[in-house]
Structure 1
Amino acid sequence: MLTSSHLLILLPLLTGAGLLLAGRRADRLAAPVAIGAHGIVLGLAIAVAIMRPNMRALFLAGLPFGVAVDGLSALMVVLVAGVTLPVLVYASAELAGDDARARFFGLMSVFTAAMLTTVTATSLLPLLMAWEVMGACSYALIGFWWRDGWRARAGTTAFLTTRAGDLGLYLAAGAAFAGLGSLSLERLAVLPSPWSHVVAAGVLAAAAGKSAQLPFSFWLSRAMAGPSSVSALLHSATMVAAGGYLLLRVSPLLHTTGWAGLTAAWLGAATAIAVGAVATLQDDLKQLAAASTSAQLGFVFLAAGAGSVAGGAAHVVGHAAVKSLLLLGGGAFLAVLGTTDLARLRGAGRRMPWTGAGFAVGAVTLAGTPPLALWLTKDLAMHGAPIGLTIASYVAAAFSAAYAGRALVTVLVRPTRQAEHGSRSAARSAATLPPRSVSISPERTPTAMLAALAALVLAVLVVVPVWLDVLPPPAPVPGILSALVALGVLVLVVGAARRGMAVREAVPDAAAKAGRRWLWLAEAARTMIARPVMASATALARFDDRVLAAGLRGAAQGVEGLARVTHQAPERAIAGTVRRGAAGVRRLGHLARLPQTGQLHQYYAQAVVVLVVLVVAAVLLTGYG
């Protein structure tokens, strides 16, 4: 019998599969069908968050397929469903003129089903299946407008980079099964050594790849090539959040190893600082948002490493809601003004006041300004961390305030004459862009933004009491220092903006270039990983062609010659023996035919001779006896 937990995953999965199979015939109905289905999914998510169902089925002997909802997954299923719905509402306007809406909404629905499976999986088996589907869908969505070659290449880069990290999850699954004979996530904490270390290393690699932590961060830059609605969903509550969620889920395992927890925490802190600096130095709003996503998820890694599961979960929720607002706002600016260049977006919020207001709420929250959500969740995430990590967290929080403040003042300050001219030129040029880029009207945009904000309110009202039932909140943290840091940096950024200064003008050109190139992480990956692997593959291919293949061809030729030799010599001997035997038989036959003359007296004479011979033989034999 189908239950709410079944329908929570099956409804978006079947909706997406149906739209993909229908193809362009379903383009007109794709948006309302997907939005209606995900409205039901949101209701089911709230229901399962309250009821906490547990579903288990036998997949293979010793490998059950299980999904369940507990405090942490209850938080995530409502978050995923609550963010997906307004994003799809926004996408219905963004892709109003596109001729592949069924494919888009089908992929988004399957992607959502995979994420819901990921956050409810109780073992590595369904987690791996959903992880794979999520990666494949993200590739197709990032490169959705594949006729633009650079978008297709961006999707390939994102897919291959995350796949490199995903290999760690397979390593972890193999080690878990070898050590326990089970893939249960709950039992990972009791893994014996050395299997526990192997599983922890594999999970860390997979989580870092999905959540764009160092050294994988650069793929998130490429992920902005997709539609704005894809970026909003991928960067907020789904794929990028999956890595952080996985670490929170297996946090007990990290601490049993003695090193994995500290590694995860420092990896998150390093990413929050380094990629936070990258975000501060960006010239493009989408790239700033992408870098900030990587940096903010660093706080989730820090929380998982420090053992603050509740703080990390709170930060995932707060960041998802904020980032969806920012990315949908940025997409609206792009659609109406035709650009995401920060220099040309000066004063964009004044031209689009409703969108600007929603964007401002998101930016101020992202900065960690009290009493808004991320001010508290950052402190909850670092609760229990040693002093070194705490200091690093405050540095990362300062960068958060810097890049959020830069985005805020860019869209709210009065534009200069040059910026106004640039905005008018961009607006005129927007009319020449493909229909998909300008299909969002200013009247529709606030509706989507308010829908996203309503989803945030719904998530807070419904999820937090449910979450607190199972995940006890960490000890209260005053957050005074982080508030002072955020407010101080915001004041500096606003002051610089009032004086007409760009943030990058206060830093050396080399640092600005490093920020725009994402610390050359992509180049480093190509130099340190891709090129050596390709060179090794090329060398191995040549060795295979020139040595192994030549050796095999020579061996084959030798075997063929030996076969001919061994075939011919015995063949001659056997054939000669057969021929000689046949000749003897022929001669005997010839001799046997000689007496056959057909004359009766000769037959009697022959019989008499035979009888005489027999009598003589009998006499001789009798005499011998």
Structure 2
Amino acid sequence: MSAVLLPTLPPLIAALAVLVLRRGSPALALSGAMLSLAGSLWLLARVAGGQGDTLLLPGLPEMPLRLVAGPLTALLAVVVATVGTFVLIYAVGYMKRESGQARFYAVMSLFLAAMQALVLAGDWVLLLAAWEVIGLCSYLLIGFWFQRPEAANAAGRAFLYTRSADLGLYVAAFMLIGSAGSSEIGASLEAGDSASTAAGLLLLLAAMGKSAQVPLQDWLMRAMAGPTPVSALLHSATLVAAGAILLIRTAPLLTPEALFAVGLVGGITTVAAGVIALAERDLKRLLAASTASQYGLMLIAVGAGVPLAALLHLLAHAAIKSTLFLAAGDLQHAREGTGFDQLKGVGRARPWAFAGFALAALALAGIPPLSGFFSKDAVIAAALSAQGAVWLGSLALAGTLLTGAYMARALRVLWQGSGDTRPVAGTGWMRAGVWGLAIPAAGLGLAFGPLETMLDLPAPETAGIGVILSGLVAALVGLALGWLVPAKRLLGPVHQWAASGLVVAGGLTAWIAQPVMAVARECERLEGLFYQATLRIGRGSLTVAKFVRLGDERSIDGLIFALVASVRAMGARARTLQSGLIHRSLAISAGAIAAILPILLLASLSF
């Protein structure tokens, strides 16, 4: 078996086993994730020297499906498997008292398998198929508690927003396949032509939907209605990461015009989502807004022409954000909620969870020597060395300052105050999940040097002392402001608008979601009317059939049965004449001749 299959097959088999066996779901899902991690590490070790590995699978005519393992794709497979493994370890404790575990672990395993297929996909057809499956899995996981109206609404909104943006990926893929004459991603990236700008903008649209970039960021905050392990996986290494991964992999295709659009979208999002996070009063929604802001930083790096800087921040962010979400889930269980009013002082009662949260928060803010310090320096250096350094650099520094501010605000709420907490079931599993990711969140930056050497991507400019100091000052100022100054005072008149999600004229809810839902309700009503009309016709047909059956039984059948009875009676009478006596037969014959003969004589005389 090819080594390229090892990251994808184990979680896929685990998903099928969970659905078939319906028992031992946590063990099966965790085994699949751990085997995927082992296979990913082995695959990365094989291709680290630069020699790729490709597996061809049956596909469309003259368009085979490809799984391609190079340094970049194998590294992404390791990230997906690592986060997935520790999230599932955490989920064993978090979901201990929840029903529907077989459904949860089956979809989580399928989610991991689909994401591994996406990062390893070497052709557009397989990438589109994996893209579809992760969209389906995200819908099922966000709406896991479908009996809750907010969860069902959040799942529908996420589906609507992301699926609308996915049209960009479809059109771009078809354009690139037609231009290159091949579905292979590498070949389509090399065959750049006049369609590259249009294809790049369409790919940006798809990435904006998946990575929750302005103005498509609203669904991500509402997706917090799902279980915390789902939030940790979606926000760090799977669904939301898919948009940034798409742009990083297709960066060679992007023209200067497309790069400008990517940087602009990322810059606006990192500031807008950071302001929204600063105004939030719910911990999970704050982290969700933070996710959109951090992916905005990655898009700034891609727009600056340095996808490696975006990749480094993606790696650091995967470990950091999953740690933050998992720690937040423990604190949520301790106080039965994620609102700031409920979580005041919970960090004192749950010190190990707060310590993991604080470590990841400082890493996200960019405090040395934690991983976020190195990745943000790479992003800022890329922004300041780009053609639009003035506005790209300013937006990157503003995003860094806002990151420090909203993370300091969250830390202050969790630490200051007091209150009762309740025992949390499955603490051991949850602690293992949190700290399994907190350690790379702290120390991953030390591996960035070897990773830059291994990856075949344009390296970012070496961060000079000025870049390092500017990023560090922005982070420290943000932390100080977030800790010392209330959000209302810090944001001033913008606070109320930010608390509503920076909605303009009703936002996409008024312009897209509500009209689409109105059309859907009207279609449902028409469908109901159609079914009702069909049922009425059906009932009428059954009534007519009953009358026909009664007429058939009482009229036609009666006449037929009467005729049959008459014929049988006549036959019975005629049978009595056949006695077998010769003298009787002769007498009957003579009588018949005597009766017929006069008739014949009369007939002959008349002629």
Does the alignment reach a TM-score above 0.5?
A: yes
Q: Distance in 2 between matches of 1:123 and 1:529?
A: 32
Could you say if the C-alpha distance between residues 222 and 14 of structure 1 is closer, same or farther in structure 2, counting changes exceeding 3 Å?
A: same
| 1:78-477 aligned within 5 A | 78-191=78-191, 193-255=193-255, 258-382=256-380, 383=382, 384-385=385-386, 386-413=389-416, 415=417, 420=418, 423-424=419-420, 427=421, 439-441=425-427, 443-454=428-439, 456=441, 465=450, 468-471=453-456, 473-477=459-463
SS at match of 2:67: strand
Give the superposition deviation at 1:292: 0.1
Q: Give the equivalent residue in structure 1 for 2:63.
A: 63
| Aligned amino acid, residue 477 of structure 1 | A
SS at match of 1:371: coil
Q: Deviations over 1:393-425 (max 9, x none)?
A: 111111111111111222223x1xxxx3xx33x
Q: Distance in 1 between matches of 2:358 and 2:518?
A: 49
Once structures 1 and 2 are overlaid, which stretch shifts more, 31-40 or 452-461? 452-461
Q: Give the equivalent residue in structure 2 for 1:488.
A: 477
**Is the CA contact (8 Å cut-off) linking 1:213 and 1:268 kept in structure 2?**
yes
Q: Distance in 2 between matches of 1:238 and 1:78?
A: 12
Q: Distance in 2 between matches of 1:393 and 1:401?
A: 13
Once structures 1 and 2 are overlaid, which stretch shifts more, 331-340 or 464-473? 464-473
Q: Distance in 2 between matches of 1:372 and 1:457?
A: 5
Give the superposition deviation at 1:176: 1.5
Give the superposition deviation at 1:32: 1.4
Q: Distance in 2 between matches of 1:540 and 1:99?
A: 33
Q: Distance in 2 between matches of 1:215 and 1:183?
A: 31
Q: Deviations over 1:526-568 (max 9, x none)?
A: 222244556789999999xxxxxxxxxxxxxxxxxxxxxxxxx
Q: Distance in 2 between matches of 1:48 and 1:481?
A: 38
Give the superposition deviation at 1:261: 0.6
Once structures 1 and 2 are overlaid, which stretch shifts more, 456-465 or 352-361? 456-465
Give the superposition deviation at 1:296: 0.2
| Aligned amino acid, residue 197 of structure 1 | T
* Consecutive unaligned residues in structure 1, runs of 5 or more: 432-437, 497-501, 544-625
Q: Distance in 1 between matches of 2:397 and 2:446?
A: 29
SS at match of 1:370: coil
SS at match of 1:59: strand
Q: Give the equivalent residue in structure 2 for 1:524.
A: 507
State whether structure 2 residue 496 is matched by structure 1 residue 513.
yes
**Is the CA contact (8 Å cut-off) linking 1:284 and 1:341 kept in structure 2?**
yes
Q: Deviations over 1:247-276 (max 9, x none)?
A: 011111113xx3111100110010000111
Q: Distance in 2 between matches of 1:221 and 1:237?
A: 17
Q: Give the equivalent residue in structure 1 for 2:15.
A: 16
Q: Distance in 2 between matches of 1:190 and 1:468?
A: 23
Give the superposition deviation at 1:444: 4.3
Give the superposition deviation at 1:173: 1.6
Q: TM-score if structure 1 supplies the norm length? A: 0.77
| Aligned amino acid, residue 463 of structure 2 | V
**Is the CA contact (8 Å cut-off) linking 2:6 and 2:40 kept in structure 1?**
no
Once structures 1 and 2 are overlaid, which stretch shifts more, 65-74 or 140-149? 65-74
| Aligned amino acid, residue 460 of structure 2 | P
Could you say if the C-alpha distance between residues 82 and 457 of structure 1 is closer, same or farther in structure 2, counting changes exceeding 3 Å?
A: farther
Q: Distance in 2 between matches of 1:121 and 1:94?
A: 32
The count of corresponding residues between Structure 1 and Structure 2 is 513
Give the superposition deviation at 1:225: 0.7
Once structures 1 and 2 are overlaid, which stretch shifts more, 383-392 or 447-456? 447-456
Could you say if the C-alpha distance between residues 504 and 465 of structure 1 is closer, same or farther in structure 2, counting changes exceeding 3 Å?
A: same
* Structure 2 counterpart of 1:46, from 34, 41, 56: 41
Q: Give the equivalent residue in structure 2 for 1:568.
A: none
Q: Distance in 2 between matches of 1:88 and 1:477?
A: 37
SS at match of 2:59: strand
Could you say if the C-alpha distance between residues 209 and 467 of structure 1 is closer, same or farther in structure 2, counting changes exceeding 3 Å?
A: same
SS at match of 2:6: helix
**Is the CA contact (8 Å cut-off) linking 2:266 and 2:299 kept in structure 1?**
yes
Give the superposition deviation at 1:310: 1.3
Q: Give the equivalent residue in structure 2 for 1:572.
A: none
Q: Distance in 2 between matches of 1:78 and 1:161?
A: 29
Q: Distance in 2 between matches of 1:541 and 1:344?
A: 40
| Aligned amino acid, residue 519 of structure 1 | L
Could you say if the C-alpha distance between residues 50 and 369 of structure 1 is closer, same or farther in structure 2, counting changes exceeding 3 Å?
A: same
The percentage of counterpart residues that share the same residue type is: 34
Q: Distance in 1 between matches of 2:517 and 2:430?
A: 46
Could you say if the C-alpha distance between residues 391 and 376 of structure 1 is closer, same or farther in structure 2, counting changes exceeding 3 Å?
A: same
**Is the CA contact (8 Å cut-off) linking 2:405 and 2:482 kept in structure 1?**
yes
SS at match of 2:308: helix
SS at match of 1:54: strand
**Is the CA contact (8 Å cut-off) linking 1:218 and 1:522 kept in structure 2?**
no
Considering only aligned residues, what root-mean-square deviation do their CA atoms show, in Å? 2.6
Q: Distance in 2 between matches of 1:46 and 1:521?
A: 46
Could you say if the C-alpha distance between residues 345 and 165 of structure 1 is closer, same or farther in structure 2, counting changes exceeding 3 Å?
A: same
Give the superposition deviation at 1:168: 0.8
Q: TM-score if structure 2 supplies the norm length? A: 0.80
Q: Deviations over 1:52-96 (max 9, x none)?
A: 322123412231211112222122111111111110011001111
**Is the CA contact (8 Å cut-off) linking 1:286 and 1:327 kept in structure 2?**
yes
Q: Distance in 2 between matches of 1:355 and 1:124?
A: 41
SS at match of 1:116: helix
Q: Deviations over 1:213-246 (max 9, x none)?
A: 0111011011111100000011011110110011
Q: Distance in 1 between matches of 2:213 and 2:27?
A: 36
Could you say if the C-alpha distance between residues 458 and 103 of structure 1 is closer, same or farther in structure 2, counting changes exceeding 3 Å?
A: farther
SS at match of 1:216: coil
Q: Distance in 2 between matches of 1:79 and 1:539?
A: 44
| Aligned amino acid, residue 325 of structure 2 | L
Give the superposition deviation at 1:100: 1.4
Q: Distance in 1 between matches of 2:430 and 2:58?
A: 46
Q: Give the equivalent residue in structure 2 for 1:612.
A: none
| Aligned amino acid, residue 294 of structure 1 | A
**Is the CA contact (8 Å cut-off) linking 2:89 and 2:429 kept in structure 1?**
no
Q: Deviations over 1:148-171 (max 9, x none)?
A: 122111111111110011111111
SS at match of 2:369: coil
**Is the CA contact (8 Å cut-off) linking 1:278 and 1:519 kept in structure 2?**
yes
Could you say if the C-alpha distance between residues 193 and 534 of structure 1 is closer, same or farther in structure 2, counting changes exceeding 3 Å?
A: farther
**Is the CA contact (8 Å cut-off) linking 1:78 and 1:463 kept in structure 2?**
no
Give the superposition deviation at 1:194: 4.0
SS at match of 2:158: helix
Could you say if the C-alpha distance between residues 305 and 337 of structure 1 is closer, same or farther in structure 2, counting changes exceeding 3 Å?
A: same
**Is the CA contact (8 Å cut-off) linking 2:298 and 2:311 kept in structure 1?**
yes
Give the superposition deviation at 1:21: 3.5
| Aligned amino acid, residue 46 of structure 2 | M
| Aligned amino acid, residue 3 of structure 2 | S
